Amino acid sequence: MKSFVKNELPVIKKENASGGKGYILIKRLLDETELNGKCGLYAQVTIPPGCSLGIHEHKGESETYYILSGRGTYHDNGTDRPIGPGDVTFTPDGCTHGLDNTGDEDIVFMALIIFDNLRS
């Protein structure tokens, strides 16, 4: 695979993501092929005020968020935690998470899903 530069990336609007409220916006930076089948997602995700990414479980993969801006409540396997810029979350295989935007500005974060060894 050769190196490349992507200048214009499509943004996908997903309504009621994982059973959440409202919608989220997903800008996929790299797809599974570009990630050599080792990762399922590398994206910038935006959650507008009053919207959420519903609580969901990861099976055969882990997911990490790096919060760029905004504030909200992160649902960490049954425990609620406040999040803000600079925070990192990690959800291992078999655990659940979700994110509510409880602030007055968009939450913007980087999301990375990594497949476990069983998928390779």
Domains of the chain, by residue range, sit at 11-119
CB 55 within 8 A of CB 96: yes
With a pLDDT cut of 70, the percent of the chain lying above it is: 96
- Whether 110 shows a pLDDT value over 80: the answer reads yes
Question: Tell me, what's the pLDDT at 119?
Answer: 47
Q: Which homologous superfamily does the CATH classification assign to the domain defined by 11-119? A: Jelly Rolls (2.60.120.10)
pLDDT digits (tens, 9 = 90+) for 88-101: 999 999 999 999 99
Question: Tell me, what's the pLDDT at 7?
Answer: 76
The predicted model gives 1-6 an average pLDDT of: 72
| CB-count exposure of residue 101 (10 Å: 0-12, 13-18, 19+) | buried
Beta strands in 6-95 (DSSP E): 11-15, 23-30, 39-47, 52-57, 61-69, 72-76, 79-83, 88-91
Q: How far is CA 112 from CA 22, 23, 44, 49, 53, in A?
A: 22, 19, 9, 22, 15
pLDDT digits (tens, 9 = 90+) for 98-108: 999 999 999 99
Report the chain's C-alpha Rg in angstroms.
Answer: 14
- Whether 67 shows a pLDDT value over 60: the answer reads yes
Kindly report whether the global pTM for this prediction surpasses the value 0.85: yes
